[in-house]
Amino acid sequence: MSSHPTQSIRLIVGLGNPGADYAATRHNAGFWWVDRLAERYGGSFRSESKFHGQVCRIQVDGRECWLLKPGTFMNRSGQSVSSLAKYYKIGLDEILVAHDELDLSPGVVRLKFGGGHAGHNGLRDIISAMGGRDFWRLRIGIDHPGNAREVVNYVLGRPSRQDGEAIERALDGAERVLPELLQGRFQLAMNAMHSG
């Protein structure tokens, strides 16, 4: 029996930086995914100042889920996440944060519960604002530039066409398991995604 919590996911946060300059950058892979979910399930994002970001509500197989794109820039993401979670009384283990992951190749996407922030400013701020790390993460592989000093320029750059296509395919796979995620069937979702 797996030790993962079986709560269903009620809030999906896509991490990214607001504004057209950042839209196509690797660091915005989390935004890309929630944009796709909104489109697929007929929702649209609207700005909500009390949540410091853009919010969308979707229904999937009769289950309601909030999608959030913080409008605060990456290193202040926690302000947005905590204000929405508090308002709708959403628990830490009912939150899934989609973010770019340097330690995975483009085309790879992994589901993970808990853990540290591995230097990711968005995750770091959410852990701090929420007072805990026990939330789900959708880690979207973007690869590592090979040199720690190059990371900032790399994540704020655009993927090559080949990498971009690989990331899109991975996001497709993650999109397909959304019904499982919203039902708390994480093992099933992982098996489907990780074998893809």
Residues with a catalytic annotation lie at 27
How does pLDDT run across 87-132, given as a tens digit for each residue?
999 999 999 999 999 999 999 999 999 999 989 999 999 999 999 9
User: Nearest 5°: phi and psi at 152?
Assistant: -60, -50
* Global confidence as pTM: 0.95
Q: With the C-alpha atoms ordered 188, 123, 120, 165, is the resulting torsion angle positive or negative? A: positive
For the domain 11-194, what is the CATH code?
A: 3.40.50.1470
**Annotated binding residue at 31?**
no
Please report, for the chain, the start and end positions of each structural domain, with discontinuous segments joined by +: 11-194
**Annotated binding residue at 22?**
yes
DSSP 73-105: -GGGHHHHHHHHHHHTT--GGGEEEEEEETTS-
2: confidence class by pLDDT, cuts 50, 70, 90: very low
**Annotated binding residue at 28?**
no
User: Nearest 5°: phi and psi at 54?
Assistant: -105, 135
pLDDT computed for residue 196 by the predictor: 53
d(CA 91, CA 63): 16
**Annotated binding residue at 191?**
no
